[in-house]
Amino acid sequence: MPPFSSSATILAIETSCDETAVAIVQGRQVLSSIVTSQIDIHRRYGGVVPEVASREHVQAVGGAIAQALTAANLSWNSIDAIAATCAPGLVGALMVGLSAAKTLAVVHHKPFLGIHHLEGHIYASYLSEPTLAPPFLCLLVSGGHTSFVHVRGPGDYAILGKTRDDAAGEAFDKVARLLDLGYPGGPVIDRLAQQGNPQTFPLPEGKISLPEGGFHPYDASFSGLKTAVLRLTEKLRTQGELPVADIAASFQATVVRALVKRAIACAQDYKLTTIVVGGGVAANSTLREQLQLAAKAHDLNVIFPPMKYCTDNAAMIACAAVDQFENGARSPLTLGAQSKLSLTDIASLYQ
Ligand SMILES: Nc1ncnc2c1ncn2[C@@H]1O[C@H](COP(=O)(O)OP(=O)(O)OP(=O)(O)O)[C@@H](O)[C@H]1O
Ligand SMILES: [Mg+2]
């Protein structure tokens, strides 16, 4: 496939969870990216409260749109289309960005596109590697999803493997909560783990048994690991002060081992020479280090998104929208928000 050469300019809105984000992207170039995080509000509750998230999005979205245009120094005339994340995510939260995007599309006579949030996470790496082109393997590791995706072409995805229970980011958040480290858990476990020894506590790597014997080569499980950390923590608490850094390092090493092993197996089995990582856990320093090492040993390329585009942002949504727009995709104004939608059903978003 030839290198990407589009110059469509798209304004995208992302409100699927607890970040109100608006960005303007031209081709693969970010002209502005505004992210207003609600983390400080949700931290009090130890996780995202959906009703609170929706209300915060309503308050923030108008200002974020104005800021994105000002920062890019553009008027509506320069925008080719307006996009918003429409699935998957919190329905009430998604509806805020979606309604704003549809309204702007009508008022300014622009095409409208609904974008799949996970397609956005896949596209985050295009922002640092503009010539990236399918086919490749995407290791999608976010707060709500963990999948090994065969990206066969723009908008053409096959799920090779996935978690059967908790997502990798969710496991970081739950383990952080049981260690009293607060929310979100990933960054704080990552930081603490640097001072710990990952070999202190051997922890079980979840495996999925197959009826015919053996284990599923790509599917993963993280809920057993979380329970093992809980039991370990209960035992250690009775013995004195908790060795939090060693627990964090041991837990993180186990998650990373499970992800790296499966990503390499998928890439080799499907003869894919590039592994692209997406989602909040792509920010993890041990995952970055270990996947780079393993990829080098197997003669594979690995691409991580820029740190600021790992967690939720609208630049990745706009970047995905550029390809969809160039391919002629347009969404009807009747498009609704959906809490769940597989990446393989993305065509249902377009006319
Ligand atoms: N350095 C890090 N190490 C590990 N995990 C991290 C790190 N930084 C962020 N995370 C995790 O990333 C997750 C947030 O990522 P993201 O914004 O992609 O998730 P989400 O949007 O909530 O979920 P989804 O994209 O599946 O809807 C959280 O679970 C957080 O703990
Ligand atoms: Mg996300």
Nearest residue by C-alpha to atom 6 in ligand 1: 186
Half-sphere exposure of 51 (CA within 13 A, CB side): 1
CA of 21 to the centre of ligand 2 (A): 12
Residues 227 and 280 in one domain: yes
Nearest residue by C-alpha to atom 13 in ligand 1: 143
CA of 284 to the centre of ligand 2 (A): 15
Q: Please name the residue that has the structure tokens 């329970």.
A: 227
Beta-bridged to residue 303, according to DSSP, are 276
Please list all protein residues whose beta carbon sits less than 5 angstroms from ligand 2, which is an ion: 142, 312
Closest CA to 20 of 46, 48, 28, 45: 48
Please indicate, yes or no, if residue 323 is contained in any of the structural domains. Answer: yes
Residues 221 and 206 in one domain: yes
**What is the DSSP code (8-state) at residue 3?**
P
Residues 295 and 319 in one domain: no
Residues 300 and 162 in one domain: yes
Query: What is the torsional sign of CA 95, 142, 292, 209?
Result: negative
Residues 215 and 339 in one domain: no
CATH of the domain at 287: 3.30.420.40
Which ligand minimizes its atom distance to the CA of 19? 1
CA of 169 to the centre of ligand 1 (A): 5
| Best residue among 125, 142, 286 to mutate for probing ligand 1, ranked by most atoms within 8 Å of CB | 142
Please indicate, yes or no, if residue 4 is contained in any of the structural domains. Answer: no
The more confident residue out of 182 and 280 is 280
Tokens of 180: 């009293």
State which ligand 1 atom lies nearest to the alpha carbon of 278.
18
Residues 141 and 257 in one domain: yes
Nearest residue by C-alpha to atom 19 in ligand 1: 143
Is 172 close to ligand 1, i.e. is its CB under 6 Å away? yes
Nearest residue by C-alpha to atom 17 in ligand 1: 311
Is 281 close to ligand 1, i.e. is its CB under 6 Å away? yes
pLDDT (tens digit, 9 = 90+) per residue, 110-140?
A: 999 999 999 999 999 999 999 999 999 999 9
CA of 143 to the centre of ligand 1 (A): 4
pLDDT (tens digit, 9 = 90+) per residue, 164-177?
A: 999 999 999 999 99
Q: How many domains does the chain have?
A: 2
166 CA to centre of own chain: 14
Please indicate, yes or no, if residue 113 is contained in any of the structural domains. Answer: yes
Residues 152 and 280 in one domain: yes
Residues 148 and 210 in one domain: yes
Please indicate, yes or no, if residue 289 is contained in any of the structural domains. Answer: yes
Nearest residue by C-alpha to atom 20 in ligand 1: 143
Is 184 close to ligand 1, i.e. is its CB under 6 Å away? yes
Nearest residue by C-alpha to atom 27 in ligand 1: 144
The more confident residue out of 18 and 98 is 98
> Using CB atoms within 10 A of its CB, is residue 8 exposed (0-12), middle (13-18) or buried (19+)?
middle
Please indicate, yes or no, if residue 1 is contained in any of the structural domains. Answer: no
Q: How far apart are CA 206 and CA 224, in angstroms?
A: 6
Residue 23 belongs to domain spanning: 9-128+310-349
Residues 103 and 54 in one domain: yes
Percentage of the chain exceeding pLDDT 70: 98
Is 143 close to ligand 1, i.e. is its CB under 6 Å away? yes
Nearest residue by C-alpha to atom 30 in ligand 1: 186
pLDDT for the residue 1 = 41
pLDDT for the residue 37 = 87
CA of 51 to the centre of ligand 1 (A): 20
Nearest residue by C-alpha to atom 22 in ligand 1: 143
CA of 142 to the centre of ligand 1 (A): 4
Confidence of residue 6 (pLDDT cuts 50, 70, 90): low
Q: How far apart are CA 283 and CA 180, in angstroms?
A: 21
Half-sphere exposure of 237 (CA within 13 A, CB side): 9
CA of 201 to the centre of ligand 2 (A): 30
Q: How far apart are CA 341 and CA 275, in angstroms?
A: 23
- State which of 1-5, 183-187, 343-347 shows the largest mean pLDDT: 343-347
What's the angle, vertex CA 29, arms to CA 331 and CA 310, rounded to 5?
A: 80
**What is the DSSP code (8-state) at residue 270?**
T
Is 280 close to ligand 1, i.e. is its CB under 6 Å away? yes
CA of 279 to the centre of ligand 1 (A): 6
The SS3 call for residue 44 is coil
Q: DSSP per residue over 285-315, as a string?
A: HHHHHHHHHHHHHTT-EEE---GGGTSS-SH
Residues 54 and 184 in one domain: no
Is 2's pLDDT higher than 50? no
Please indicate, yes or no, if residue 191 is contained in any of the structural domains. Answer: yes
CA of 94 to the centre of ligand 2 (A): 12
Q: Are 203 and 254 in contact (CB under 8 A)?
A: yes
pLDDT (tens digit, 9 = 90+) per residue, 194-252?
A: 999 999 999 999 999 999 999 999 999 999 999 999 999 999 999 999 999 999 999 99
Please indicate, yes or no, if residue 3 is contained in any of the structural domains. Answer: no
Please indicate, yes or no, if residue 167 is contained in any of the structural domains. Answer: yes
Residues 211 and 65 in one domain: no
The SS3 call for residue 251 is helix
Q: Taking residues 89-115, what's their average pLDDT?
A: 98
Residues in the chain: 351
Residues 64 and 118 in one domain: yes
